[in-house]
Amino acid sequence: MKQFAFNLIILLSIIFCLLCCISCKTTYSQKINIDKTNIPVSTYEDKDFIRVDGTKLVCADGSDFFIKGMAFGNTVWGNVNTEPRFHHTKESYKELKEMGFNSVRFYINYQLFESDAKPYVYRKNGFEWLDKNIQWAKENGIYLIVNMHVPQGGFQSNGDGRALFKNPENQSRLIELWKVIADYYKDCSTILGWGLVNEPVVQYVQNDEKESLKTWHSLAQRITEAIRSVDKNHILFVEKAISIMDDNHNYFSFEEKDSYPIIQDENLVYEFHSYDPIQFTHQQASWIPQLKETIKYPDDTKYIIESPHWQKQNTVQFRKLADFPVEWTEFSYTFCANDEDFSKTNVFCASIKPGFIDKGELLIDDIIITETDKNGNSRILKEYDFNEDTNLYFGTNPEIPDGKSFWTNSDGHNKKGCYKIIQTKSWAYLTAPDYFILKKDCTYTISVWAKTKNLNKQTCYAEFGFDLSHSQNASTFTKDYIQQVILNHIKTIEDLGKPIFVGEFGCIRNCFEGNGGLEYVKDSLEVFRDYTAGFSYHTYHEWNFGLHYTNPGWQLPNEEEVNTELKEFFTEILPSF
Q: Please tell me whether the peptide bond between 539 and the residue prior to it is cis, using omega within 30 degrees of 0.
A: yes
Per DSSP, the three-state class of 467 is strand
Q: At what angle do helices 168-184 and 209-228 cross, to 10 degrees?
A: 30
Q: What is the pLDDT of residues 313-333, one digit of tens each?
A: 554 433 455 567 788 988 888
pLDDT in tens, the chain (577 residues): 434 444 444 444 444 444 444 333 333 333 578 899 999 999 999 999 999 999 999 999 999 999 999 999 999 988 788 899 999 999 999 999 999 999 999 999 999 999 999 999 999 999 999 999 999 999 999 999 999 999 999 999 999 999 999 999 999 999 999 999 999 999 999 999 999 999 999 999 989 999 999 999 999 999 999 999 999 999 999 999 999 999 988 888 888 899 999 998 999 999 999 999 999 999 999 998 878 889 999 998 777 876 666 655 554 433 455 567 788 988 888 888 777 777 778 888 888 888 888 888 999 999 999 999 999 999 999 999 998 887 788 888 777 778 888 999 888 988 889 999 998 888 888 888 788 888 888 999 999 999 988 887 778 888 888 888 877 667 889 999 999 899 989 988 888 999 999 999 999 999 999 999 999 999 999 999 999 999 999 999 999 999 999 999 899 999 999 999 999 999 999 999 9
pLDDT for position 487:
92
Element containing residue 469 per DSSP (H, E) = strand 461-470
The CA-to-CA distance between both ends of the chain, in Å, stands at 87
Looking at the DSSP bridge assignments, the partners of residue 193 are 145, 235
Please state, in angstroms and rounded to a whole number, the distance separating the CA atoms of residues 527 and 155: 30
Tell which residue, 185, 260, 252, 183, has the closest CA to residue 221. Answer: 260
Phi then psi for residue 519, to 5 deg, are: -65, -40
Q: What is the DSSP string of 369-421?
A: EEEE-TTS-EEEEEEE--SS----EEEE-TTS---EEEEESSSSTTSS-EEEE
Q: With contact defined as beta carbons under 8 Å apart, do 109 and 153 qualify?
A: no
Question: What pLDDT does 31 receive?
Answer: 53
- pLDDT for res 12: 43
Burial grade of 64 (CB within 10 A; 0-12, 13-18, 19 or more): exposed
At 238 the three-state DSSP class reads: strand
pLDDT score, position 411 = 87
DSSP 134: H
pLDDT of amino acid 306: 66
pLDDT of residue 544: 95
Length of the chain: 577
Name 306's Cβ contacts closer than 8 Å, sequence gap at least 6: 276, 277, 471, 472, 473, 474, 485
pLDDT at position 104, please? 98
Residue 30's φ and ψ, nearest 5 degrees, are -65, -35
pLDDT digits (tens, 9 = 90+) for 344-392: 788 888 888 888 888 889 999 999 999 999 999 999 999 999 988 877 8
Beta strands in 232-377 (DSSP E): 235-239, 243-245, 268-273, 299-306, 309-320, 329-336, 347-355, 361-372
Contact 355, 315 (CB under 8 A): no
The 3-state secondary structure of 486-508, one letter per residue = HHHHHHHHHHHCCCEEEEEECCC
